[in-house]
Chains A and B, each alone.
Chain A
């Protein structure tokens, strides 16, 4: 059973992902061709981050809208795993980078690690026999 809340979440994520693509391509084009400077450059640089933040908000909105409390508990659990995973990776990487054992990674990559962590959380849910109706 796919809940209406889950469908709403997917629609929001699709739109935000499309928006991210547009903002990112525009920003990369603008900076590559030296079309941006000053305040406009700041705006253009921040714009691709906004849809990503929107996806975090969409996740929060989904948790509010999801009426199935069991599924909601699984998504919360999955997100806690994702957060713990992302924070751990960031902390470890930070120390490795400080001691010059690894190269620099842009901090926005932590969002990618968090999304990957959602997958980790989903696997943990499955391994512990707590599979969500539609969070995989």
Chain B
């Protein structure tokens, strides 16, 4: 799932470690989510969005909207 995590993190000058600590997850988790290798659960996605003060859809791109846009 595409997301803006890397951009949002960079805007705040946070390292992956910083973000991992704020979310109470491992750095590998942040890396996996950022690179689209792992889709977070809904609770974690909410935590991420709330940390940035954004709505979930402002952080994560809806896969269904993406596929319908491609059509």
Contact = CB atoms under 8 A, between A and B. Distances in A.
Interface in B29-71: 29, 32-33, 37-38, 40-41, 44
Contact of B37 (A1, A129, A134): A129
Interface stretch (A51-59, A66-74, A80-88): A66-74
A133 B32 CA distance: 11
17 contacts: A1-B20, A1-B26, A1-B27, A3-B26, A68-B25, A69-B25, A69-B40, A70-B25, A70-B26, A70-B29, A70-B32, A70-B40, A73-B38, A129-B37, A130-B38, A133-B29, A134-B26
Interface of B: 20, 24-29, 32-33, 37-38, 40-41, 44
Interface of A: 1, 3, 67-71, 73, 129-134
